[in-house]
């Protein structure tokens, strides 16, 4: 018997991702963001947003982001276990999961509440860096256009 698919609460910054064939919820809680600040050697959310906004994420970076998101959603998992997981689309699939998680945490409807500083510099740098920079090892299905 299969478990029902995980349903993320987008208002809380949650996303759903399929890892190791299971639907899982990921969320960068404040604790998960603090974990990432420590892992990336930055002192605040603005610097963390700027780090992600560089557009240069290594495989280790993606493992840390996905791991923090899984732990933020209540999963007991270490980065070494995340590194052994599989995602639809392989490495590009993991990169899409990390990008979606970062956008859910730093952008979207909650942008003003999640802004690292009054100007939202970290968020804006990250969002600007993502424009036109989708990870595309596999083509994404086209969305129907409204007329």
3-state SS of the chain is CCCCCCCCCHHHCEEEEEECCEEEEEECCHHHHHHHHHHHCCCCHHHHHHHHHCCCCCHHHHHHHHHHHHHHCCCCCCHHHHHCCCECCHHHHHHHHHHHHHHHHHCHHHHHHHCCCCCCHHHHHHHHHHCCCCCCCCCCCCCCCCC
Banded pLDDT at 2 (limits 50, 70, 90): low
Say what percent of the chain tops pLDDT 90.
55
Summarised one tens digit per residue, pLDDT across range 57-84 is 999 999 999 999 999 999 999 999 999 9
**What does the mean pLDDT of the chain come to?**
78
pTM for the model: 0.71
Summarised one tens digit per residue, pLDDT across range 107-141 is 743 333 333 343 344 444 455 554 544 443 333 44
Q: Residue 106 has what pLDDT?
A: 83
More confident residue, 11 or 82: 82
100 pLDDT more than 80: yes
More confident residue, 64 or 147: 64
**Average pLDDT rounded to a whole number, residues 17-35:** 95
């Amino acid at each position: 018997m299969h478990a029902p698919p995980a349903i993320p609460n987008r208002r809380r910054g949650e996303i759903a991702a399929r890892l190791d064939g299971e639907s899982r919820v990921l969320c960068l809680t404040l604790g998960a963001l603090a974990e990432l600040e420590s892992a990336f050697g930055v002192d605040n959310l603005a610097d963390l947003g700027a780090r992600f906004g560089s557009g240069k994420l290594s495989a280790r970076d993606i493992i840390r982001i996905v791991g923090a998101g899984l732990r933020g959603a209540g999963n007991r998992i270490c980065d070494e276990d995340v590194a052994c997981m599989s995602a639809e689309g392989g490495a590009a699939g993991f990169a899409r999961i990390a990008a979606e998680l970062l956008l859910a945490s730093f952008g979207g409807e909650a942008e003003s509440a999640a802004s690292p500083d009054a100007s939202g510099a970290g968020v804006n740098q990250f969002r600007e860096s993502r424009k036109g920079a989708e990870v595309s090892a596999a083509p994404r299905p086209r969305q129907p256009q409204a007329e």
